[in-house]
Amino acid sequence: MVTTRKIASCAALLSLLAVSGCVGMGAGMGPGPAPARASNVDGEWVGAEGIRSTFRAGAFETRAPDTGEVLATGSYQEQPGGLVRISVQSRVRDPQIVDCLKVDAGGGRVHQLNCTSSSGQSFVLTRAG
């Protein structure tokens, strides 16, 4: 069962992960899933308080670390210049957009996503495992 404190913690992370205000969809970020293709950001990622996010074939999902409950879903697209644009639909906020810059660990494997919301809030997602 999700407690009020857990919801507040998840809401705080999602407010960082998702833009504070609702932003219109960017070019190419329609409501449907992105085309399936291999990506160097595909995989498991960890953010604040151990909240896990999965990026796979254009789909995005975030789960609570203790219950595995889905907190947010959406899609992502890789943009020119190492940018990843995420369209997020959370359980506690309106649909939102966040942009992340890929940090390459060498050999083309991205190990960190430095993300910034349009309100200027920054956070980091680190590849799990």
CA distances from 83 to 56, 71, 112 (A): 16, 23, 12
pLDDT given at position 17? 44
Tokens of 39: 């990506």
For 20-53, what is each residue's pLDDT tens digit? 222 333 334 445 554 445 678 999 999 988 889 9
Residue 126 has pLDDT above 50, yes or no: yes
> What's 4-21+34-127's CATH class?
mainly beta
pLDDT tier at 118, thresholds 50, 70, 90: low
- Rounded to an integer, what distance in angstroms lies between the CA atom of residue 100 and that of residue 122? 9
Question: Residue ranges per domain, the chain?
Answer: 4-21+34-127
Q: What is the mean pLDDT of the chain?
A: 75
pLDDT given at position 43? 94
Residues 6+ apart with CB under 8 A from 18: 72, 88, 90, 93, 96, 97, 98, 117
Which of 1-10, 24-33, 91-100 has the largest mean confidence?
91-100
pLDDT given at position 45? 95
- Rounded to an integer, what distance in angstroms lies between the CA atom of residue 128 and that of residue 52? 8
CA distances from 35 to 3, 57, 118 (A): 36, 7, 25
